[in-house]
A and B are shown apart, each in its own frame.
Chain A
């Protein structure tokens, strides 16, 4: 008995609420859909932007440096780290006279890489994404490295 009264009260209360909001809901819904439609293009772009002037400049700098680094990747003197950077893995593969230049090359490459990760995060309005972008790149660099290159896996240097 008490249960049925309770449910009836609840039902009528719900009906009242429904009637109250029913009047405006259709119009509001039309407006909602119209507004949603107008903002749709903003949400459609799900790709990360990698073409801002700052990012493009870093990319160009790294592109130019790659020809110099390539021989070191192939010889195994320079390896790709798990953190998305490059490191001198075996300096003995490089003549003593060129080791200073190699260190500079690696240092400059890593500075550019920091700028690249930060630049992409900032370009997409989320500077806090820098770490995750760096991690994503780290995996992709290693994955895309060619056979024979030295990469870091589980803290160990391994030849691909």
Chain B
């Protein structure tokens, strides 16, 4: 039977034919691919590079954010410490108004 006779040489020949066909189709496809600029990929790449250069989480936003947060944190701490041991005054304060 022919079916049993699939040798290495056969497979190689099929692959060769297939590769040839792929090359032909790819060449025609390449003409189309090269015309179009990958805009979405470029945008993604740009965002990544800009974030790295501007260091968006660390460099750009933190100088504005850390300055108000440091003075804001210090008034909270003294007010929190007297409130912490006495629970009752805080309950009274809530019920008073």
Contacts and interface: CB of A to CB of B under 8 A. Distances in A.
Interface of A: 24, 27-36, 39, 46-48, 50, 55, 59, 62-63, 66-67, 70, 116, 120, 126, 129, 132-133, 136-137, 140-141, 144, 146
B20 to A, nearest CB: 8
A118 to B, nearest CB: 13
Nearest to B42: A136
Interface in B23-76: 34, 37-39, 41-56, 59-61, 63
A1 B60 CA distance: 82
A39 B61 CA distance: 44
A116 B21 CA distance: 38
B46 A140 contact: yes
B55 A66 contact: yes
Nearest to A131: B37
Which secondary structure characterizes the binding site on chain A?
A: helix
Given A28-B21, A32-B21, A66-B55, A46 B14 contact: no
A31 B15 contact: yes
Contacts of B49: 50, 55, 59, 116, 120, 137
Among A34, A132, A140, find the residue whose CB has the most chain B CB atoms closer than 10 A: A140
Which secondary structure characterizes the binding site on chain B?
A: helix
Interface residues of B, number: 34
A125 B27 CA distance: 17
A59 B52 contact: yes
Nearest to A129: B37
Given A63-B52, A140-B47, A70 B41 contact: no
B53 A59 contact: yes
B90 interface: no
- 10 closest A-B pairs by CB: A31-B18, A31-B14, A32-B18, A48-B45, A140-B46, A35-B19, A136-B42, A28-B17, A35-B18, A132-B37
29 contacts: A24-B17, A27-B10, A27-B13, A27-B14, A28-B17, A28-B18, A30-B18, A31-B14, A31-B15, A31-B16, A31-B18, A31-B21, A32-B17, A32-B18, A32-B19, A33-B18, A35-B18, A36-B18, A47-B44, A47-B45, A48-B38, A48-B45, A50-B49, A63-B52, A70-B59, A70-B60, A116-B49, A136-B46, A137-B46
B83 interface: no
